[in-house]
């Protein structure tokens, strides 16, 4: 049977796996049923399966031939704390938890690739299949590395895919350089003396300090960062006060920074501290900053991006592989794996246009099953390109 026929033959089964995972979503580091499902399938395919690597992670290995080279393929297990509004027969059975980012699809496609690779002799070397927990917010990829993933399963390259609504359906996007942004979060507590709203002269007003900070910090991007180095700073929360006749003694401001240049992490931290202290001093208040460094940027090395683009051409044709496009200001903890390994690529598979609320993290998000065979075929082609028989 030809490879395309083999892929077509298992697509309905793979979609069934995706829908089963979708109907039973689990949040980060709690993906027990999902991990058990994945591990059972991998064992059924004949892979060597490890569930003792890190938290709820599942890692499996497959070796063919006599080659000593190894690569890793990664998918995510976790869902999001979102109440599903999509009208599908396999909708989430857990109120307030939903696969709204397509991790169910990524996992199912990688399972499909594992099944076909186990049945073939199309590569020479070792493939490490990494099904990681807690990609969303909690940094499951970082924890896996801290727990010894790459020491226990050393590889030369690591690859991952992500469905991408808004990118042309059936197209593959991979670029050398930044593809996803870094993310840092900050929290500032402004403190002063609370007082009666009718007697503001008897206290200090941390609300005014917070308001001054919110407007002044916008200079960080517009006046302190090179205009040719993209950056975003957004203030996303302000909390303070409970009554309309009392000036609160404490106000909390929270926000996030996004950028591609890792050096901007230190710059943002220093500027936010400086502006916060100045705003507080201007109003007789104090400011305390907590700056949380999050995911680094996803930066595809040239060699990994080139291999992924060639595998993409093998998959959908060169005319449907896009290597020049605007990267995303979204973040992705695959950055830790890519940084730890040093080579590989993060790839988008276009899911086409979607409606309001149906994009990534939307409550009406529906994974486009038309891209399932593309994802499976891409994984197979990456393996065959990276670990060629007779290579």
Residue 106 marked in a binding site: no
Helix axes 206-216, 264-282, angle to 10 degrees: 140
Residue 3 marked in a binding site: no
Residue 103 marked in a binding site: yes
Residue 254 marked in a binding site: no
Residue 201 marked in a binding site: no
Query: With 0-12 CB in 10 A as exposed, 13-18 as middle and 19+ as buried, what is 137?
Result: middle
SS (H, E, C) the chain: CCHHHHHHHHHHHHHHHHHHHHHCCCCCCCCHHHHHHHHHHHHHHCCEEECCCCCCCEEEEEEECCCCCEEEEEEECCCECCCCCCCCCCCCCCCCCECCCCHHHHHHHHHHHHHHHHCCCCCCEEEEEEEECCCCCCCHHHHHHHCCHHHHCCCCEEEEEEEEECCCCCCEECCCEEEECEEEEEEEEEECCCEECCCHHHCCCHHHHHHHHHHHCCHHHHHHCCCCCCEEEEEEEEECCCCCCEECCEEEEEEEEEECCCCHHHHHHHHHHHHHHHHHHHCCCEEEEEEEECCCCEEECHHHHHHHHHHHHHHHCHHHEECCCCCECCCCCHHHHHHHHCCEEEEEEEEECCCCCCCCCCCCCCCCHHHHHHHHHHHHHHHHHHCCCCC
Cite the annotated binding site by residue number: 101, 103, 136, 162, 361
Cite the annotated binding site for Mn(2+) by residue number: 101, 103, 136, 162, 361
């Amino acid at each position: 049977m030809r490879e395309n026929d083999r892929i077509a033959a298992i697509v309905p089964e793979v979609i069934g796996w995706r829908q089963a995972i979708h109907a039973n979503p689990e949040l980060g580091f709690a993906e027990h049923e999902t991990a058990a499902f994945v591990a059972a399938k991998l064992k059924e395919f004949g892979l060597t399966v490890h569930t003792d690597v890190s938290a709820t992670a599942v890692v499996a290995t497959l070796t063919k031939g006599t080659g000593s080279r190894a690569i890793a393929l990664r998918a995510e297990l976790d869902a999001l704390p979102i109440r599903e509004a999509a009208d599908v027969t396999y909708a989430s059975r857990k109120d307030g938890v939903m696969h709204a980012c397509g991790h169910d699809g990524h996992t199912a496609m990688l399972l499909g690739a594992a099944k076909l690779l186990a049945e073939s002799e199309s590569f020479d070397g070792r493939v490490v299949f990494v099904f990681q927990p807690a990609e969303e917010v909690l940094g499951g990829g970082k924890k896996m590395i801290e727990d010894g993933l790459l020491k226990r399963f050393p590889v030369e390259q690591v690859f991952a895919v992500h469905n991408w609504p808004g990118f042309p359906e059936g197209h593959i996007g991979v670029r050398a350089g930044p593809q996803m942004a870094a993310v840092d979060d900050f929290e500032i507590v402004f403190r002063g003396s609370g007082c009666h709203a009718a007697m503001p002269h008897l206290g200090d007003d941390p609300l005014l300090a917070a308001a001054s900070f919110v407007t002044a910090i916008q200079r960080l991007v517009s006046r302190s960062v090179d205009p040719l180095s993209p950056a975003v700073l957004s203030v996303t929360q302000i909390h303070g006060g409970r009554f309309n006749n009392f000036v609160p003694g404490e106000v909390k401001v929270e926000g996030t920074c996004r950028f591609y240049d890792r050096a901007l992490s230190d710059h943002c931290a220093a500027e936010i501290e400086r502006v916060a202290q100045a705003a507080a001093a201007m109003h007789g208040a104090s400011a305390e900053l907590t700056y949380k460094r999050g995911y680094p940027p996803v930066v595809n090395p040239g060699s990994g991006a080139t291999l992924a683009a060639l595998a993409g051409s093998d998959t959908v044709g060169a005319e449907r592989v896009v290597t020049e496009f605007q990267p995303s200001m979204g973040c992705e903890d695959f950055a830790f794996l890519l940084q730890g390994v040093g080579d590989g690529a993060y790839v988008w598979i276009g899911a086409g246009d979607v409606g309001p609320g149906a994009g990534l993290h939307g409550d009406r998000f529906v994974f486009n099953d038309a891209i399932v065979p593309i994802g499976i075929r891409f994984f197979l082609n990456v393996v065959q390109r990276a670990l060629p028989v007779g290579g």
